[in-house]
Amino acid sequence: MSVRVALLAAECEPWAKVGGLGDVVDSLARALGRLPEAGGELEAPIDVLIPRYRSVPLPSTARAEPPLRVADPAGGADLTAGIVDVAADGYRLRLVDIPAAFDRDGVYDHPDDPWRFAAFCRVALAALRRDGRPLDVLHVHDWHTAPALLERARGEAAGDPFFQRMAVLATLHNLAYHGWVPTAGLGQLGLAPGDPLAGGNPFGLDLLLTAIERADLVNTVSPGFAAEALTPVFGMGLDGALSARGDRFFGILNGIDAGVWDPGADDALAAPYRRGDVAGKTACRADLLRRLGMDPSDGGAVVGCIGRLDPQKGLDLLADAAPALLEAGVRLVVLGDGHAEIAAPFRALAASAPDRVALAERFDRALARRIYAGVDIFAMPSRFEPCGLGQMIALRYGTPPVVRRTGGLADSVVDVDEQPGRGTGFVFDEATPGALAAAIERAVRLRAGDPAAWAALQERGMARDFGWETSSAPRYLDAYRRAAALRGG
């Protein structure tokens, strides 16, 4: 008997991406389709459903399914929605086309987000149901797809066998975004205050909490963060609900797609290089620095940082550490978009020392690749990090990372001073500019003072295997089996 699984998410690279969620949905779906041991056990290709945002590029091979009519979650006239099928690389992408909800600029942060994502979940489930085959496991991600659990509860109450059978695995990528719906907004989800489905909080409904309480299994994206999430500091108000799930809440470390992230075959790079032969990395460094208006012949350490400009990422620590680092001859390259106030100090630094600090305030796939390859040291000073992908990519690109000892960063980087023969980077504890600067200075000293040790460090990092197939995709398959079994499937 093969298990039918569908992934429901707000992002999937390269069609719609704000952060790591998009990368993980794409690469996990592809890896699941490739699992040899899943042969015959997991129906392939896997379905991935995301909204058709205005910005989604439609390939000419896209094919429209017949339109669907579903009740608007907020009441009123029915919604007519389309489903557009796209043959993606290794899975089947189905774009849920609800123009009133998604034919707008931007992915998130519209005042009617609860309604937009409730409508998305309802239409997606109607499409999966129309396929005429039972769905064993629905895999939802973050708060955006939590309304699917309200749909299941309604379907179960109505005795609908499709929903009675369907198990749900909820993956939590970020506990900072809850999808909070104040009582006055409950109508967007088709709920009236006091409705048992609304959860009993007199002030409103927390969609992420709804997913945690109602899914058959819940996971987050690293074992380290799964442990941290049970504490008040990292649980962000959800630690109690997560503890209550007992062994039904666990961590599975994200992977990266080794084919997508391969310095030996990366078109964005000036020269290819690989483990054991990193000569091309020097050309990548020169190319990056030239593009940024920095002197390629200056051998001093260049530190790179890539990510959403979000308080989570600890860029303020890097900004505060910057003056001392620049004084020591270090140069900085920062790429990301998001909160303008997080970029402000880097903007000022780049204006006063354009040959020492570069800031690119945008989302730029090619530049990101050139930074992973071209800088000497990669910094991830996150305050919290459910997993983090940048450190894994940096390791694969031979760029030793400096990371805070938190969540998935602590699970994926080993400090070279703590474990000299095994270390792959530099780990620091306190979320302070001083602790970050000290860790970067350790890296700068090793690089300048002991080239052989530095080369060995790079080599160990490049040898780390974060491919999905090795462990994490099989663990998701196990979770699907377990969720289906809990549901009686």
User: Which residues does 385 contact at the CB level (< 8 Å), separation at least 6?
Assistant: 225, 312, 404, 406, 407, 408, 409
Minimum CB distance to ligand GLC, residue 176 (Å): 8
Measured CA to CA, the distance from residue 336 to residue 306 in angstroms comes to: 6
**Taking CB under 6 A as the criterion, which residues in 38-97 touch ligand GLC?**
none
Binding status of residue 19 toward ligand GLC by CB under 6 A: yes
Task: Please classify residue 348 by burial: count the beta carbons closer than 10 Å to its beta carbon, then call 0-12 exposed, 13-18 middle and 19+ buried.
Answer: middle
Query: Rounded to the nearest whole angstrom, what is the least distance from the CB of residue 345 to ligand GLC in the complex?
Result: 22
Provide the minimum distance between the beta carbon of 251 and ligand GLC in the complex, in angstroms, as a whole number.
Answer: 11
Q: Does 123 bind ligand GLC (CB under 6 A)?
A: no
Which CB sits closer to ligand GLC, 49 or 81?
49
List the one residue out of 400, 360, 356 whose CA is nearest residue 378: 400
The single residue among 10, 128, 135, 174 that binds ligand GLC, judged by CB under 6 A, is 174
Q: Is 391 in the site for ligand GLC (CB under 6 A)?
A: no
Q: Is 219 in the site for ligand GLC (CB under 6 A)?
A: no
CA distance 360 to 369: 13
Nearest to ligand GLC by Cβ — which residue?
20
Among the listed ranges 93-101, 157-165, 195-203, 380-388, the one in contact with ligand GLC (CB under 6 A) is 380-388
Residue 226 token pair: 């799964």
Using CB under 6 A as the binding rule, whether residue 21 contacts ligand GLC is answered as yes
Minimum distance, C-beta of residue 24 to ligand GLC, in the bound complex (Å): 4
Residue 75 burial (CB count, 10 A)? 9
Nearest alpha carbon to residue 391 among 358, 422, 426, 418: 426
State yes or no: residue 385 binds ligand GLC (CB under 6 A). Answer: yes
Burial 411-450 (b: 16+ CB within 10 A, else e): bbbbbbeeeeeebbbbbbeebebebbbbbbbbbbebbeee
- The reply to whether 24 sits near ligand GLC by the rule CB under 6 A is yes
Site string (224-263) toward ligand GLC, x via CB under 6 A: ------------------------------x---------
List of residues 6+ apart from 185 with CB closer than 8 A: 114, 204
Indicate whether 173 belongs to the interface with ligand GLC (CB under 6 A): yes
Q: What whole-number distance in Å separates Cα of residue 390 and Cα of residue 392?
A: 5
Stretch that binds ligand GLC, among 89-97, 106-114, 387-395, 435-443 (CB under 6 A): 387-395
- For the chain, the first-to-last Cα distance in angstroms comes to 10
Residues forming contacts to ligand GLC in the complex (CB under 6 A) are: 19-21, 24, 173-174, 221, 254, 385-389, 408
